[in-house]
Amino acid sequence: METTSLEPSLHTVKAVLILDNDGNRLLSKYYDPELYPSIKEQRSFEKNVFNKTYKADDEIAFLEGMTIVYKSSIDLFFYVVGSSQENELMLMAVLNCLFDSLSHILRKNIERRCLLENMEGAFLVVDEIIDGGVILESDPQQVLQKVNYRTDEIPLGEQSVTQHLTEKLALTTNVLQSAKEQIKWSLLK
Amino acid sequence: MIKKFDKKDEESGSGSNPFQHLEKSAVLQEARIFNETPINPRRCLHILTKIIYLLNQGEHFGTMEATEAFFAMTRLFQSNDQTLRRMCYLTIKELANLSEDVIIVTSSLTKDMTGKEDVYRGPAIRALCRITDTTMLQAIERYMKQAIVDKVPSVSSSALVSSLHMVKMSYDVVKRWVNEAQEAASSDNVMVQYHALGLLYHLRKNDRLAVTKMLNKFTKSGLKSPFAYCMLIRIASKLLDETEGGHDSPLFDFIESCLRNKNEMVVYEAASAIVHMPNCTARELAPAVSVLQLFCSSPKAALRYAAVRTLNKVAMKHPSAVTACNLDLENLITDSNRSIATLAITTLLKTGSESSVDRLMKQISSFVSEISDEFKVVVVQAISALCQKYPRKHSVMMNFLSNMLRDDGGFDYKRAIVDCIISIIEENPDSKETGLAHLCEFIEDCEHTVLATKILHLLGKEGPRTPQPSKYIRFIFNRVVLESEAVRAAAVSALAKFGAQNDDLLPSVLVLMQRCMMDSDDEVRDRATFYMNVLQQKQKALNAAYIFNGLSVSIPGLEKSLHQYTLEPSEKPFDMKSVPLATAPLSEQKMEMAPVATSKLPEKLAPSRQDIYQEQLASIPEFQSLGPLFKSSDPVQLTEAETEYVVRCIKHTFSKHMVFQFDCTNTLNDQLLQKVVVQMEPSESYEVLHYVPAANLPYSQPGSCYTLVRLPDDDPTAVSCTFSCTMKYLVRDCDPNTGEPDDDGYDDEYVLEDLEVTVADHIQKVLKPNFGAAWEEVGEDNEKEETFALASVRTLEEAVGNIISFLGMQPCERSDKVPENKNSHVLFLAGVFRGAHDVLVRARLALADGVTMQVTVRSSDETVVDIILASVG
């Protein structure tokens, strides 16, 4: 823990990670080119982070000289990484914004399957929240407005008749399956 | 349709990840449908997502592949599907560094950036800036300026942040946008405000005046964005730090006022800034500490963590300021977040009383295995500090440390523990045996070569002097059998020390040595053969010189001397005594173990101060024939602090001469000094041979002049001398603004304080790790003894301090530390006298009314003994 103060800069976030419950990368963005430049180093960092955090829902950790705030939901783990001198609450603001925005896009089904089906939404959300390590937006409402993303999944009650039949079928099984997974996970937890 | 197709794939595959078995080549194949008309947005979107997903997984795209995909993607700009377009921007950014000719999309992006769709404009700017270089930037400069002041916040923010990213590449262009950024800073939107502030600071950070003005403006007008406030606080505290502004400055008031902000983020930032300020008084810290105290009971883990981490830092410098929070910290000991609990405990260890130590240690040992290595190091450092504060607690600590040593952990963590145990052993003789036993156990299964060799070295040093040296032999010899070359070599050296110190162990050690001589490694064999031969002589003097006390020369000096020797073929053997001695004994550096958990930089071996002087002096022709530099003193001030000219002197001792280096600084901005010399009048038979003037001494640029003095040959005991010094120079008045000097000047002089040369200037400190052996090695041929009464000294510590600084010799065997509540003490000092004569001093001190001191001096030269005794008396 160094005592030197931070150079004033907008570059707050060093990395954003979304991992699944096996610690596999679903989405990772590294904003500091000096931090883990190779994919191998990134993977090993992610592994270390996951191993140290998946057991306890602690919200914050200090690893490899960096402050990491995190949150989990069912089978997903969200991480925001910053320097050890960074204001923890700023990192937390980023994490909360990411979580809330995704929660809205995924219609509260924050779980792996649902995320993977709306991966483009996730990419866009992350892009709107952080640009090159700078916090671009921290208000989920603003993020959603900017992304203006509509999920393919339309809740069961709102299906329009114009929807293609095959697609409808696929979606229904989809929703059912994700519900099943969700129950399974909540039981396992 | 494609969706359905995917589903099938997924069901047959394992798991539910539709991206799991993506093949790069297959995806690139699919990307061909980008060229179909009409564009199917849904399918294309899915393929783009796959491409980005693959890139994100670290899949490598070759230039050809990337370029092909990129060009196919450009077709998709024909579609008006919003999400598809946004994904195109992302793809552009991802492929910007991989593909060739990315600038082809410039016009499309420029169109989107200036178009009517607000949803496109911001992201288009960011994508555009990603692919733009300095020359292209000029072309879009007009649009960028407009975008920065655009009334749509997302557009303005995007332009500001992109500008910030481009400052590194094209500072000169972005600099021209300051006025627009200024306008954006007064925006109503919180993020725009924040980004504008960040860009403005970045453009102006080298201009302190501009930063001050900016701060004044914003601290007065107030901001809406909490992020911007945090930024302002950081800028303000940096400025305070640089200008060394007092705490009555308006900037400090601003930071303090932020403690009352309604946003926690800002309050915390302000508290953290105050805590990190150097030389803050307890009164100034108090408000910051009390907000942190409030945060300690926050339901948010991140806030509790932030608070306790900052309090931990305060406790390092001002433990008393934190005692008020002890109760809140106690509550955090059982926090479910182990990081918070660890920080709380280590903070309490710093602030709490001795009685609470046991309880806290018990608490922390219950979960130490759950915390990360970084925090374990924090714990070890806290323990290390605690051991110095409460030496009596060492048995509790030692137990705890040995348990930690057994657990898994990385190198930094283990090293911290080993260092801590070693320092405890050195501080407390009682703990030596337990400590060594723990370390022995540790090296039985230690994967870190550095630590193993370090411990073996310590065992060699301390082990032979314990009551039962034989029990360490097994541990050491095991290393010879099992470990890598470096560890084996260290083990052999350690073994030799046992053989040299303990006669009854010698036969067994010789047997073991013989086995080491058959080692597969050269270094190990060489060492074993060497030690074997030395040990077989059974001579104390040889043992002392070659086994206990290694070389005391400076390594860079030795390298240089050897190189010099090989350049000039000569019949004479190389003389070890011509090599300058090593300065700065190792034991002193360890005290300042910095509390840094993550030192990524490898420690560089800096050349010692003396090596630098040696170089500097050797470059002056007059001094080249003086031989190697023997010793350089610390600088002595010859003027008061606030005078016109500041002069300090460094005394360089050579074997027959002394060189006085005067570092002069001219603090008058309307004068240029020339031909500066310091004239010296010796009180004894010292002879001034030569002056080397400093040619020019302009305002505030230090310069050096030198005086060469020959030491008296006829009277070797004349070691001390007083010189009266006068600085003589030519003054040329000059214009304070331009520094342009007048044509003619006048001579002037300035009287300096007297300079003393003492016995300490003739003696170089040398650390003898084993003083007893060195004492025997020198022998009693030239031994002399005298008893003195030090009437003016009241305590043993004071007497020890005085003797060390007077003689300028190195205390050995930690004898500079006087145990508490003792009436007598023995001080061991070692050094080398000018002319390469070893000197050893044993001073027995007894405290009655005043201190009585019996001094015994041994040296290889009788005159030296006389000199020392004469100077003490």
SS3 per-residue string spanning B262-276? CCHHHHHHHHHHHHH
Other beta carbons within 10 Å of A179 = 11
The reply to whether residue A60 touches residue B596, judged by beta carbons under 8 angstroms, is no
Confidence of residue B439 (pLDDT cuts 50, 70, 90): confident
Mean pLDDT confidence for B422-430: 80
In this prediction, residue A158 carries a pLDDT of 41
Distance, CA of A134 to chain centre = 17
One-letter amino acid identity for B89? Y
Residues near B174 by Cβ (< 8 Å), separated by ≥ 6? Answer: B163, B166, B167, B199, B203
Buried b or exposed e, range B562-578, using 16+ CB within 10 angstroms: eeeeeeeeeeeeeeeeb
Any chain B CB within 8 A of the CB of A34? no
Bond into B38 cis (ω within 30): yes
Residues near B607 by Cβ (< 8 Å), separated by ≥ 6? Answer: B556
Confidence of residue B2 (pLDDT cuts 50, 70, 90): very low
Count the alpha carbons within 13 Å of B787 in the hemisphere toward its beta carbon.
Answer: 4
Helices (H) and strands (E) in chain B, counts: 38, 17
Q: Of B19, B119, B237, which is closest to A116 when you measure between CB atoms?
A: B19
- Taking only residues 807 to 826 of chain B, the set having a beta carbon closer than 8 angstroms to any beta carbon of chain A reads none
Q: Which residue, among B21, B85, B86, would best test binding to A if mutated, counting the most A CBs under 10 Å from its CB? A: B86
Taking Cα atoms as reference points, which of B642, B646, B640 lies closest to residue B665? B646
Question: Rounded to a whole number, what is the distance in Å from the CA of A103 to chain B's nearest CA?
Answer: 18
Q: Which residue of A has its CA nearest to B196?
A: A10
Distance (Å, whole) CA B158 – CA B137: 15
Confidence of residue B591 (pLDDT cuts 50, 70, 90): very low
- Percent of chain A past pLDDT 90, that is, above it, reads 37
Distance (Å, whole) CA B694 – CA B707: 11
Considering B218-222, B310-314, B331-335, B848-852, the range whose residues carry the highest mean pLDDT is B310-314
Any chain A CB within 8 A of the CB of B234? yes
Question: Rounded to a whole number, what is the distance in Å from the CA of B61 to chain A's nearest CA?
Answer: 13
In this prediction, residue A88 carries a pLDDT of 92
Compute φ and ψ for B293, nearest 5 degrees.
-60, -40
Confidence of residue B4 (pLDDT cuts 50, 70, 90): very low
Residues near B302 by Cβ (< 8 Å), separated by ≥ 6? Answer: A59, A60, A69, A88, A89, A91, A92
Give the start-to-end residue ranges of the domains of chain A: 13-147, 156-188
- Taking only residues 582 to 621 of chain B, the set having a beta carbon closer than 8 angstroms to any beta carbon of chain A reads 595-598, 600
- Taking only residues 92 to 111 of chain A, the set having a beta carbon closer than 8 angstroms to any beta carbon of chain B reads 92-93
3-state secondary structure of B604: coil
Any chain A CB within 8 A of the CB of B157? yes
Confidence of residue A90 (pLDDT cuts 50, 70, 90): very high
Q: Which residue, among A68, A113, A120, A165, would best test binding to B if mutated, counting the most B CBs under 10 Å from its CB? A: A120
Buried b or exposed e, range B183-199, using 16+ CB within 10 angstroms: ebbebebbbbbbbbbbb
Any chain B CB within 8 A of the CB of A123? yes
DSSP B546: I
The reply to whether residue B303 touches residue A59, judged by beta carbons under 8 angstroms, is no
Distance (Å, whole) CA B638 – CA B753: 5
The reply to whether residue B300 touches residue A62, judged by beta carbons under 8 angstroms, is no
Any chain A CB within 8 A of the CB of B2? no
- Taking only residues 749 to 778 of chain B, the set having a beta carbon closer than 8 angstroms to any beta carbon of chain A reads none
In this prediction, residue B684 carries a pLDDT of 74
B72 versus B18: which is more confidently predicted? B72
In this prediction, residue B162 carries a pLDDT of 93
Distance (Å, whole) CA B646 – CA B639: 6
The reply to whether residue A61 touches residue B372, judged by beta carbons under 8 angstroms, is yes
Q: Of B49, B161, B374, which is closest to A136 when you measure between CB atoms?
A: B161
- Please classify residue B680 by burial: count the beta carbons closer than 10 Å to its beta carbon, then call 0-12 exposed, 13-18 middle and 19+ buried: buried
The reply to whether residue A5 touches residue B237, judged by beta carbons under 8 angstroms, is yes
Of B235-249, B328-342, B411-425, B638-652, which gets the smallest average pLDDT? Answer: B235-249
Confidence of residue A174 (pLDDT cuts 50, 70, 90): low
Question: Rounded to a whole number, what is the distance in Å from the CA of B4 to chain A's nearest CA?
Answer: 7
In this prediction, residue B1 carries a pLDDT of 39
In this prediction, residue B552 carries a pLDDT of 67
3-state secondary structure of A111: coil
pLDDT in tens, B655-705: 888 888 888 888 887 888 888 888 888 877 788 888 888 888 888 788 888
Any chain A CB within 8 A of the CB of B269? yes
Considering A96-105, B169-178, B494-503, the range whose residues carry the highest mean pLDDT is A96-105
Which parts of B697-821 fold into alpha helices (H)? 771-778, 796-807
- Whether the full predicted model's pTM is greater than 0.90, yes or no, is no
The reply to whether residue A89 touches residue B268, judged by beta carbons under 8 angstroms, is yes
DSSP B812: -
Confidence of residue A100 (pLDDT cuts 50, 70, 90): very high
The reply to whether residue B234 touches residue A56, judged by beta carbons under 8 angstroms, is no
Any chain A CB within 8 A of the CB of B192? no
Distance (Å, whole) CA B522 – CA B524: 6
Answer whether residue A116 shows pLDDT above 50.
Answer: yes
Taking Cα atoms as reference points, which of B612, B606, B554 lies closest to residue B581? B554
The reply to whether residue B600 touches residue A65, judged by beta carbons under 8 angstroms, is yes
Answer whether residue A188 shows pLDDT above 80.
Answer: no
Compute φ and ψ for B846, nearest 5 degrees.
-135, 135
Question: Rounded to a whole number, what is the distance in Å from the CA of B596 to chain A's nearest CA?
Answer: 5
Answer whether residue B735 shows pLDDT above 80.
Answer: no
Q: Which residue, among B7, B43, B339, B412, would best test binding to A if mutated, counting the most A CBs under 10 Å from its CB? A: B339
Answer whether residue A1 shows pLDDT above 60.
Answer: no
The reply to whether residue B302 touches residue A89, judged by beta carbons under 8 angstroms, is yes
Q: Which residue of A has its CA nearest to B231?
A: A8
Distance, CA of B443 to chain centre = 28
Distance (Å, whole) CA A24 – CA A106: 20
Q: Of B16, B48, B303, which is closest to A89 when you measure between CB atoms?
A: B303
The reply to whether residue A124 touches residue B90, judged by beta carbons under 8 angstroms, is yes
Other beta carbons within 10 Å of B634 = 8
Answer whether residue B868 shows pLDDT above 90.
Answer: no
In this prediction, residue B246 carries a pLDDT of 65
One-letter amino acid identity for A44? S
Q: Which residue of A has its CA nearest to B44?
A: A120
Specify whether the CB–CB gap between B196 and B181 falls below 8 A: yes
Confidence of residue B446 (pLDDT cuts 50, 70, 90): confident
- Percent of chain A past pLDDT 70, that is, above it, reads 77
The reply to whether residue B83 touches residue A25, judged by beta carbons under 8 angstroms, is no
- Percent of chain B past pLDDT 70, that is, above it, reads 93
Of B219-233, B585-599, B682-696, B723-737, which gets the smallest average pLDDT? Answer: B585-599
Distance, CA of B262 to chain centre = 38
What residues of A are in contact with residue B195 (Cβ under 8 Å)? 10, 134
Confidence of residue A152 (pLDDT cuts 50, 70, 90): low
Confidence of residue B13 (pLDDT cuts 50, 70, 90): very low
B673 versus B369: which is more confidently predicted? B673
Average pLDDT along chain B: 82
pLDDT in tens, A49-77: 998 888 777 788 888 888 999 998 888 99
Q: Of A43, A170, A181, which is closest to B7 when you measure between CB atoms?
A: A170
In this prediction, residue B594 carries a pLDDT of 35
Confidence of residue B8 (pLDDT cuts 50, 70, 90): very low
Under 8 Å CB pairs connecting chains A and B tally to 182
Considering B286-300, B654-668, B836-850, the range whose residues carry the highest mean pLDDT is B286-300
Which parts of B691-764 fold into alpha helices (H)? none
Considering B228-237, B329-338, B402-411, B551-560, the range whose residues carry the highest mean pLDDT is B228-237
Confidence of residue B859 (pLDDT cuts 50, 70, 90): confident
Distance (Å, whole) CA A139 – CA B262: 18
In this prediction, residue A123 carries a pLDDT of 92
Considering A21-25, A164-168, B470-474, B663-667, the range whose residues carry the highest mean pLDDT is A21-25
Q: Which residues pair with A131 in a beta bridge?
A: A134
The reply to whether residue A5 touches residue B301, judged by beta carbons under 8 angstroms, is no
The reply to whether residue A43 touches residue B231, judged by beta carbons under 8 angstroms, is no
B248 versus A133: which is more confidently predicted? A133
Any chain B CB within 8 A of the CB of A47? no
In this prediction, residue A2 carries a pLDDT of 40
What residues of B are in contact with residue A138 (Cβ under 8 Å)? 191, 227
Helical pair B264-276 and B282-295, crossing angle rounded to 10 deg: 140
Question: Rounded to a whole number, what is the distance in Å from the CA of B107 to chain A's nearest CA?
Answer: 22
CATH topology of domain A13-147: Beta-Lactamase (3.30.450)
3-state secondary structure of B829: strand
Compute φ and ψ for B796, nearest 5 degrees.
-70, -40
In this prediction, residue A173 carries a pLDDT of 66
Q: HEC string of B626-693? A: HCCCCEECCCEECCCCCCCEEEEEEEEECCCEEEEEEEEEECCCCEEEEEEEEEEEECCCCEEEEEEC
Q: Of B4, B17, B264, which is closest to A170 when you measure between CB atoms?
A: B4
Answer whether residue B545 shows pLDDT above 50.
Answer: yes
Q: Which residues pair with B846 in a beta bridge?
A: B824, B852
- Percent of chain B past pLDDT 90, that is, above it, reads 8
Of B604-613, B672-681, B752-761, B767-776, which gets the smallest average pLDDT? Answer: B604-613
Of A112-126, B250-264, B541-555, B720-734, which gets the smallest average pLDDT? Answer: B541-555
Answer whether residue B128 shows pLDDT above 60.
Answer: yes
Distance (Å, whole) CA B841 – CA B816: 13
DSSP B699: B
